[in-house]
Structure 1
Amino acid sequence: MVQDDILKVLVTEEEIEQRCVELAEQIEADYQKEGTVPVVVGLLKGSVPFMAELIKRFKFPCEIDFMKVSSYDGTESIGDVRIDLDMQISAKERPILLVEDIVDTGRTLVEVKKMFKNKGATDVKIVSLLDKPDRREFEIEADYVGFTVPNEFVVGYGLDYNQKYRNLPFIGVLKPEIYE
């Protein structure tokens, strides 16, 4: 069973659900103050469970779209960001709420945020389930963060190792012998 590969649980399913309620309230209040409604864009594949949990809490009419970008191979960043699938909704003159599973080195988010600005987005905010500041190589911070995690190899709730473990209903630390 995949759970046998987990060293420890960092964030439970219940904690994630509760934090999504809090994040949705905060995000909604901020956009209400601005008088705007964002296009909610999930970065595939890791953001899907988090995005699904988050958007069902929004009370505003929610337009969603997805992008697939990649900068990882296994456990290591490969150094460049590829756009594998672009969103279908136009970003021009629209605020974007970018949904990410984890802010790690920051490389992907810096590039995606730049791309949205080039496409004419009025604003780009980032909501991330996890933040791993110890690994940051690029100057970027999420506007909204679910949980800050230590520099350990985390999986679950959308986060993977070689496309596995995304289905775990919690955030756990993968046993080192699995990926070393």
Structure 2
Amino acid sequence: MIKLHDLEFEPYISEEEINVAIDKVAQKLNEDYLDANPIFLGVLNGSFMFASEVIKRFSGDCEVSFVKLGSYEGTQTTGTVKTLLGLNQSLKGRKVILLEDIVDTGNTLEEINKILLKEEVANYEVATLFYKPEAYKKEFNIKYRGMEIPNKFIVGYGLDYDGLGRNLTQVYKLK
């Protein structure tokens, strides 16, 4: 059991299970993009650990960039996604792999889709460590999924509760 701010969380997904999920995503990305020199686009802050591990496991040439969007306050999504840090390079004509820590409602993906369409990318795919099918409300294809989980609030492995918990090597759920 851990306490972050005012809430208690209990162990939910082990570091070993997370590594297996990352291996699965990375293996598929290696099969699909080995000779493509893709740009991995991490969504900060949550995806930093997942992005690092996927990129380390990628065997081909690649480039790395990040964007920062925000939509959460406490344990609830605000429903509004705002861009906090934008792209610093052109993605025109490039193959992009969007690295997300978690896909729940899909609101962040909708905002990133607008950015990528404006950038005129050749194509992009979404790779996420965690996917919540019960919460997902959009039509974007989530091609690479580490693991599907129920619609519970989780922290750890990059995910936070009001800034705390990102450094945890396993995932905890709200008690």
**TM-score after normalising by structure 1:** 0.89
**Shift of residue 109 of structure 1?**
0.4
Q: Give me the whole-angstrom Cα distance separating, in 1, the residues matched to 2:118 and 2:149.
A: 31
2:166 aligned with 1:158: no
2:117 aligned with 1:114: no
Conserved? CA contact 1:105–1:137, under 8 Å: yes
**Which residue of 2 is the match for residue 38 of structure 1?**
38
Equivalent residues, number: 172
**Which residue of 2 is the match for residue 171 of structure 1?**
171
- Percent identity reads 38
Q: 2:10 aligns with which of 7, 11, 21?
A: 7
Conserved? CA contact 1:2–1:165, under 8 Å: no
**Shift of residue 14 of structure 1?**
1.3
The structure with the greater share of residues assigned to helix is 1
Conserved? CA contact 1:8–1:172, under 8 Å: yes
**Which residue of 2 is the match for residue 75 of structure 1?**
75
**Which stretch of structure 1 is more off in the superposition, 46-55 or 110-119?**
110-119
Q: Give me the whole-angstrom Cα distance separating, in 2, the residues matched to 1:64 and 1:20.
A: 17
**Which residue of 2 is the match for residue 103 of structure 1?**
103
Structure 2 alignment gaps of length 5 or more: none
- What SS does the corresponding residue of 1:112 show, helix, strand or coil? helix
Conserved? CA contact 2:38–2:96, under 8 Å: yes
Conserved? CA contact 2:38–2:61, under 8 Å: no
Q: After the TM superposition, which residues 83-102 of structure 1 pair with which residues of structure 2 at under 5 Å, given as runs?
A: 83-102=83-102
Pair 132,106 (structure 1): closer, same or farther in 2 beyond 3 Å: same
- What SS does the corresponding residue of 2:128 show, helix, strand or coil? strand
**Which residue of 1 is the match for residue 135 of structure 2?**
135
- What SS does the corresponding residue of 1:82 show, helix, strand or coil? strand
**Shift of residue 3 of structure 1?**
6.3
**Shift of residue 8 of structure 1?**
3.1
Conserved? CA contact 1:157–1:166, under 8 Å: yes
Structure 1 alignment gaps of length 5 or more: 176-180
Q: Give me the whole-angstrom Cα distance separating, in 2, the residues matched to 1:3 and 1:130.
A: 22
Pair 113,24 (structure 1): closer, same or farther in 2 beyond 3 Å: same
